Amino acid sequence: MRLWTLLKTTSAYRLEELIPTARRPKVLTMLLALARQKAVHANASDAERLRLALESLGPVFIKFGQLLSTRRDLLPDDFADQLARLQDQVPPIDPDIAIRVIEASLGASIIDLFARFDREPLAAASVAQVHSAQLKDGREVVVKVLRPDIEPVIKQDLRLLKRVARVLNRLSPDFRRLRLPEVTADYEQTLANELNLAREAGNASIIRRNFIDSGLVYVPEVHWPMTCDKVMVSERIHGIPVSDIARLNDLNVDLKRLAERGVEIFFTQVFRDSFFHADMHPGNIFVDASDPSDPRYLAVDCAIVGQLDDNDLYYLARNLLAIFQRDYRLVAQLHIECGWIPATAPVAEFEAAIRTLCEPIFERPLSEISFGHMLISLFKTAGQFDMTVQPQLVLLEKTLLNIEGLGRQLYPALNLWDTAQPYLERWLSDRYSPTAVLQRLQKQAPGWLESLPMVPDLLLNRLRADPATPAPPPRPVWAWAITLIGCLGLTMTAIQPDPPLTLAIVSSVVFTFGLVKAVR
């Protein structure tokens, strides 16, 4: 039924006219003939009809339009302008309905909750809308309210997407390589998180804490006593939309510095914090231009965040750095090492393919290159080597597209490579510095110490489970003595606020050596 709705919407808004007749699939033409509808908004432009159609289809399709709106290099200006309206100009819900949701969620009347509540919303998005208000103590806040009855619509669309993904997955090896079912499952989890405003508030608090002493970005403070799964109250901020380039220019804002800081914020969130804002479209980003020479970002709507584990971060950083350094052989080896392409893939051929793809884009500003086109070429090239899409990196790729779109609007001459390479080199150097290694040892030491007394019981249980195993030779007492000495050294390292680096390294080596000799 939802697929039928999609066909009727396509017909009503005449979206098939966006596809040249010669390239229009015959199956689509036949289905649209069956679902033929009376044209709506017939006098509207193609771009406006596309926006209205996406609005009518609901949140999943609105978010697709939001992502497209940042890619002005892939779209005509009129389409980009229309889709940009999806970011914060979705038709709002009735204020009386919003008030009823707030009162039911917080268990009090709107008069008792706020000194002032503005019925006219500040912004309306696909999942929620925002009203300005004032607390009883005089603080200015914004109140975010989840749209009622939004969950059934999203679940229906996701069911359709999952079915389509399963069908496409069976049709071709190319689709199987994209791992569409896993990607759709990740997207489902992402949208589920966005439907819980308490989780969004938690995300915002973490990002705020990560940058609390930084001049790069500011995240509004959450007012927790009035925050739950359907309502979120937070500090009101005042800034200039990052897409308002004309106003930023009027204020003489340093756009080059602003664009470079956007790149720095992204890499800091990904590699330092492993926790990044993954919905960085222009509707969620503002600029504090109180000091035009030192502008600062203001970030809202932290519902969608991305996280990567240590292995993903390590391989991602080394891959990016190897590309920046044009070490294509290392790129090929890393792809095999981390399992992104099969171990049987020919390294030399894959190296040559990456070189052919990457060389043309170096030493060129963002105004002359497109990551969108590069990603399309990458998928085509990688398909020859059975490279699979990594679902855990999909949000990261989406955020990179957002960053490119913002950078292109702010400062088209920005050289992403020159901005990112020093940061990646510094991150890898810091991660494997003696101090960082010592900190990780201190973090792991309590767990090792807790598990150490259980090692003899684990060995005995293993032997009892396999009676055919011959009795092991007596363990040397000296090996257990060395293990105990190393354990004591690690304990001293863990409890001292500023332990000597030599003690940590020697203790780790002694403990590992003794334990290996004792249990082998």
Identify any residues that bridge with 232 across adjacent strands, giving them in sequence order: 144
Burial category of 170 from C-beta neighbours within 10 Å (exposed 0-12, middle 13-18, buried 19 and up): exposed
Instruction: Provide CB contacts within 8 A for 24, sequence distance 6+.
Output: 16
Which is it for the CA torsion 475, 477, 482, 488, positive or negative? positive
* Whether the Cβ atoms of residue 403 and residue 262 lie closer than 8 Å to each other: yes
The two structure tokens encoding residue 268: 């800091």
| Pairing relationship of beta strands 296-299 and 217-218 according to DSSP bridges | parallel
Which is it for the CA torsion 51, 129, 285, 264, positive or negative? negative
* Whether the Cβ atoms of residue 295 and residue 258 lie closer than 8 Å to each other: yes
Active site residue 279: yes
Catalytic choice (174, 213, 254, 279)? 279
- What is the Cα–Cα distance from 253 to 295, expressed in whole angstroms? 7
Q: Tell the residue number behind the tokens 């030779």, with chain if given.
A: 473
Phi-psi region at 371: left, alpha or beta (left = phi > 0; alpha = psi -120 to 50)? alpha
Classify 469 as helix, strand or coil: coil
The H or E element containing residue 232 is strand 231-235
- What is the Cα–Cα distance from 219 to 298, expressed in whole angstroms? 6
Residue type, 495: I
Q: Tell the residue number behind the tokens 């403990």, with chain if given.
A: 511
Task: Tell me how far CA of residue 214 lies from CA of 253, 265, 275, 298, in angstroms.
Answer: 19, 10, 16, 12
Taking Cα atoms as reference points, which of 130, 97, 133, 91 lies closest to residue 114?
Answer: 133
- What is the Cα–Cα distance from 381 to 71, expressed in whole angstroms? 22
Counting DSSP H helices and E strands in the chain, the numbers are: 23, 11
Identify any residues that bridge with 129 across adjacent strands, giving them in sequence order: 124, 145
Provide DSSP, 355-415. Answer: HHHHGGGTT--GGG--HHHHHHHHHHHHGGGTPPP-GGGHHHHHHHHHHHHHHHHH-TT--
Task: Print burial letters for 124-162: b (CB count within 10 Å at least 16), e (below 16).
Answer: bbbbbbbbbbebeeeeebbbbbbbeebeeebeebbebbb
The two structure tokens encoding residue 464: 């009892």
Count the Cβ atoms, other than its own, within 10 Å of residue 268. 19
Active site residues: 279
